[in-house]
Amino acid sequence: MYGGIEAGGTKIMCAAGTGPSDLHAQISFPTTTPTETIERIIAFFQQQRALPLVAIGIGSFGPIALHPHASNYGSITSTPKPGWANVDIVGPIGRALGVPVGFDTDTNAAALAEGRWGAAQDLTTFLYLTVGTGIGGGGVSNNQLIHGLLHPEMGHIRLPHDLQADPFPGVCPYHGDCLEGLASGPALLARWGAPGETLPSDHPAWALQAHYLALACVNFICTLSPERIILGGGVMNQSQLFPLIQREVQVLLGGYIQASVLLQQIDTYIVPPRLGKQAGMLGALVLAEQAASDPA
Amino acid sequence: MYGGIEAGGTKIMCAAGTGPSDLHAQISFPTTTPTETIERIIAFFQQQRALPLVAIGIGSFGPIALHPHASNYGSITSTPKPGWANVDIVGPIGRALGVPVGFDTDTNAAALAEGRWGAAQDLTTFLYLTVGTGIGGGGVSNNQLIHGLLHPEMGHIRLPHDLQADPFPGVCPYHGDCLEGLASGPALLARWGAPGETLPSDHPAWALQAHYLALACVNFICTLSPERIILGGGVMNQSQLFPLIQREVQVLLGGYIQASVLLQQIDTYIVPPRLGKQAGMLGALVLAEQAASDPA
């Protein structure tokens, strides 16, 4: 039995189980202060002690410190979320529950889950992008999560921005008009004066939104050569975005990359997640499984 | 003993050996027609028959067909280079020499060699970008070359392009002002009316060139999280570009990614190759070594 925690910036989801068809207990609650939030997480798993937990996995909002030898390993680092910068999340949970803890970003966790049970089964190289309060990406290359210096921060790539067509300066406090600055939920709200979910499906917001997400997909395709791109998160509940993005990716690529799935079946290439809002939490179970088999 | 072939769009380099300190024979000649070029490659290795060749590696200009089960595996595909589109390169060389053939892009080969003997030794995740007649990138993630749908085409990412500051439309026949369209050698020539190597080192061309390459590095950092970026190719012989790019990457990231190498030691993060013009050919020897150990 594994414990999985998706630590999102607004909500925590916890579950005990081994996968989507074997979940023994679940809870979700708002992300408040670090102390209160971590206490609630620990209390939930302590209540499950009838089930022998062998490991915990945490998929967290970021940026996070991932290098096992770093002095701040297991912490959330430079988040603008009040109170959460430089908070150790792995340490207190691991000590309280006495089991190994796997740790990664929420989007890398979601990518893992979609690879195991969802929209990227049997693929070796793919990416998962969540478009919501922020924009974050996780990815798998040759069956392994993309790490390296740190972890991907795909929401912060820079894109062409035609200031005449779209004078909106972007909302990213670090970069202004990076992808997240132009196309996150808060960017939609700030640009159009209303939350995205209140705009009609034929509102011009969506063509512009699809344009930026298509540019982002093109850059990810040229850099990572993924076999599929999964677009999730609250903004992608606007399902009219998918055909707009798919078509524009084809136009932007201009036939240069000769892969039949891009040229002829792009509706199977840029797809919604299959695991919906549970992807991050289910991916945390996979992180727990990995921690159990390699507790170092 | 391995055979290594770097098949570039303008020049072929072949060598027999096992690495930079063990090269028994080398040759280089211009890339002409496919038939003539492939015949010269085969003739070179047939002359080395005193040495028992156990495998050949080919690092080729692209795009190339890499999936072993594809009907066109081993071919160069949609290149604009006259006569070379849809040319099988692996087949005739493998049949003539009767040994296993490893095959990948020239830039993936160069990345492999820099990882083994050069500027990325001991790193697990890094990328190599060549800036010359074209712009191409190869990369390693978790010790494995980045593949997936096909292979990276990093030269074709889209970047912010301020048409007021730089009205140049770009030279890429597929995408106009993608990275390659804005910052390759032919783009420098077309924008400034003179080849890059004839422009003085304080010419405004270089600040603009550094700007586009810095934007590209930022996007690669946010997507792949490489531990190091190696910038090679003829244009990067302008060594004044390195400090300009390094500084602008820091400005563009705005301190968001808290890695000390980005914040404090960026001169060790964005670096020239150590193997120079031999990187692709040496990487082809590594591809040969891999083909010998896994002839499937």
Q: Specify the number of domains making up chain A.
A: 2
The CATH number covering residue A142 comes to: 3.30.420.40
User: Which residue's structure tokens are 């500051």?
Assistant: B165
CA of A185 to nearest chain B CA: how many angstroms apart? 20
Q: Which two tokens stand for residue B224?
A: 């792949």
A134 & A251 share domain: yes
Together in a domain, B185 and B199: yes
The answer to whether residue B210 sits within a structural domain is yes
| Inside any domain, residue A257 | yes
Q: Check whether residue A28 and residue A172 sit in a common domain.
A: no
| Cβ-based contacts of B227 with chain A (< 8 Å) | 148-149
* Placement of tokens 């066109």 in the chain: B72
* Cβ count within 10 A of residue B272: 16
Residue B114 located in a structural domain: no
User: What's the gap in Å between the CA of A191 and the closest CA on chain B?
Assistant: 19
Q: Please tell me whether residues B148 and B45 are part of one structural domain.
A: no
Contact criterion met (CB < 8 Å) for A222 and B261: no
pLDDT at B295: 56
* Strand A101-105 to A55-60 pairing: parallel
Phi and psi angles of residue B232, each rounded to the nearest 5 degrees, phi first: -125, -165
User: In a mutagenesis test of the B interface, which of A135, A157, A175 is the best target, namely the one with the most B β-carbons within 10 Å?
Assistant: A157
CB contacts of A218 in chain B (<8 Å) are 156-158
The pairing of strands B75-76 and A101-105 is unpaired
The reply to whether A173 and A242 lie within a common domain is: yes
Q: How many CB atoms lie within 10 A of CB A21?
A: 7
Of B125, B159, B224, the CB nearest to A223: B224
Cβ pair B222:A174 closer than 8 A: no
- Closest alpha carbon to A57 in A11, A113, A9: A113
Q: Among the listed ranges A44-53, A233-242, B125-134, which one has the minimum average pLDDT value?
A: A44-53
* Interchain CB distance below 8 Å, B223 and A157: yes
State whether B281 and B178 are in the same domain: no
Q: Which of A71, A219, A227 to mutate to test the interface with B (most CBs of B within 10 A)?
A: A219
Query: How would you classify the pairing of strands B55-60 and B101-105?
Result: parallel
Q: Please report which confidence band the pLDDT of residue B275 belongs to, taking 50, 70 and 90 as the band edges.
A: very high
Residues B62 and B126 in one domain: no
Dihedrals phi, psi of B270, to nearest 5 degrees: -110, 105
Instruction: Identify whether residues A124 and A260 lie together within a single domain.
Output: yes
CA A143 to CA A285: how far, in whole Å?
Answer: 17
Distance from CA of A158 to the nearest CA of B (A): 6
Contact A256 B156 (CB under 8 A): yes
Residues A138 and A225 in one domain: yes
Which phi and psi angles does B157 have, rounded to 5°? -70, 155
pLDDT tens string B100-111: 999 999 999 999
Same domain, A150 and A96: no
Distance from the B194 Cα atom to the nearest Cα atom in chain A, whole angstroms? 27
Instruction: Number of A to B CB contacts under 8 A, please give it.
Output: 169
The answer to whether the Cβ–Cβ distance between A219 and B215 falls below 8 Å is no
Determine the Cα–Cα distance for residues A83 and A239; give it in Å rounded to an integer: 35
Nearest to A225 among B144, B152, B175 (CB): B152
| CB distance B226 to A141 below 8 Å | no
CA–CA separation, A19 and A81 (whole Å): 30
With beta carbons under 8 A apart, name residues in chain A contacting B225.
Answer: 146-153
Residues B139 and B253 in one domain: yes
Query: What would you report as the CA-atom Rg of chain B, rounded to the nearest whole angstrom?
Result: 19
Assigned domain for B48 exists: yes
Same domain assignment for residues A82 and A155: no
Asked whether residue B21 is domain-assigned, the answer is: yes
Predicted ipTM > 0.90: yes
Q: Chain A: nearest CA to B26, how far in angstroms?
A: 32
Q: Is residue A163 part of a domain?
A: yes
| Per-residue pLDDT reduced to its tens digit, B41-78 | 999 999 987 778 999 999 999 889 998 888 999 999 98
- pTM exceeding the 0.90 threshold for the entire prediction: yes
pLDDT tens digits, one per residue of B237-268: 999 999 999 999 999 999 999 899 999 999 99
The whole domain housing B68 covers: 2-108+277-293
The model's pLDDT over A235-282, given as tens digits with 9 standing for 90+, comes to 999 999 999 999 999 999 999 998 999 999 999 999 999 999 999 999
What is the per-residue pLDDT across A113-126, written as a single tens digit (0 to 9) for each?
999 999 999 999 99
* B265 lies in some domain: yes
* Opening angle at CA A272, ends A269 and A277, nearest 5: 150
Type of residue found at A142: N
Question: Is B113 part of a structural domain of the chain?
Answer: no
Is the pLDDT score of A130 beyond 60? yes
**Which of A126, A149, A218 shows the shortest C-beta gap to B158?**
A218
Minimum-distance CB partner of A150 among B148, B175, B259: B259
